[in-house]
Amino acid sequence: MSRKVWFEELGRIRYREAWAYQEKLFDAVIRDKQDRREEKDQYLLFCEHEHVFTIGKSGNRQNLLITRQMCENRQIDLHEINRGGDITYHGPGQLVAYPIIDLEAFAIGIKRYISLLEDVVIETLKPYGIRGEKDEKAMGVWIDAGNPSRARKICAIGVRASRYVTMHGLALNINSDLSYFNFINPCGFTDRGVTSMQKELGQEVDFQEVSHGMRNAFRELFAMEFAAR
């Protein structure tokens, strides 16, 4: 089965608009799969979002520490969405990747898929001397995962899959304003921190350079064949 993937940079985009676009592509991939098309389109979207909190279908609203009115006053969007996981923040300076792919075309299951997403981020961080790690009890990519007093998340992951077709994805903090995480319990955690590449390195990081590195990591680890839209 084909591993050709259309790659698209959406730039800075509000969450609701990107979500609607994802749903449109997701439904198209599902239809192609139901029609048993030999060459179905698959997609990988990269973007940044305006300030937004998203709460997954298993999320606890109590992990939002401010009111909806306060969100509006601070121009932070708030959406309850259909991915797994709890609450997270997206905003400028954060690279978000949305793979909309057929896992059967890549011969992997959902557990392996999430592990590969973590691997993509770990490989993206390596050239910067940042050692990303996995935690068996907590999805995402962490720094000092084995040290409870120092463990901090640098990338959140939350996905949805139906008929082995995926949507949603990962969010890597590059030059993120981490103060927005003070308004939530990120991913439901109250005892772990968050970090960014900028914070770890003590300087702003070239966003496009990281984006290029992540695209290469997707290509290599998933054996994707990219076509530009």
Whole-model pTM: value is: 0.94
- Which are the catalytic amino acids? 187
Question: Encoding tokens for residue 184?
Answer: 């939530």
pLDDT of residue 2: 81
> Consecutive sets of 10 residues in the chain, 229 residues long: mean pLDDT of each?
90 97 96 79 97 87 89 93 87 98 96 98 98 92 92 94 96 97 79 92 98 98 87
Question: Encoding tokens for residue 19?
Answer: 């979500």
Angstrom distance (rounded) from CA 115 to CA 166: 14
Question: Encoding tokens for residue 222?
Answer: 């998933």
pLDDT of residue 227: 83
pLDDT of residue 1: 65
pLDDT of residue 143: 97
Find the CATH number of the domain harbouring 21.
3.30.930.10
Summarised one tens digit per residue, pLDDT across range 36-73 is: 776 779 999 999 999 999 998 877 888 889 898 999 99
pLDDT of residue 129: 98
pLDDT of residue 123: 98
If one counts the domains in the chain, the total is 1
pLDDT of residue 229: 63
* Distant-in-sequence, close-in-space partners of 84: CB < 8 Å, separation ≥ 6: 56, 57, 58, 158, 159, 160
Characterize 20-54 residue by residue with b for buried, 16 or more Cβ atoms within 10 angstroms of its Cβ, and e for exposed: ebbeebbebbbebbeeeeeebbbbbbbbbbbbbbb
- Separation in Å, CA 22 to CA 18, 19, 57, 96, 108: 6, 5, 17, 13, 21
Domain span at 67? 4-228
**Distance between alpha carbon 194 and the CA centroid of its chain, in Å?**
15
pLDDT of residue 190: 63
pLDDT of residue 184: 86
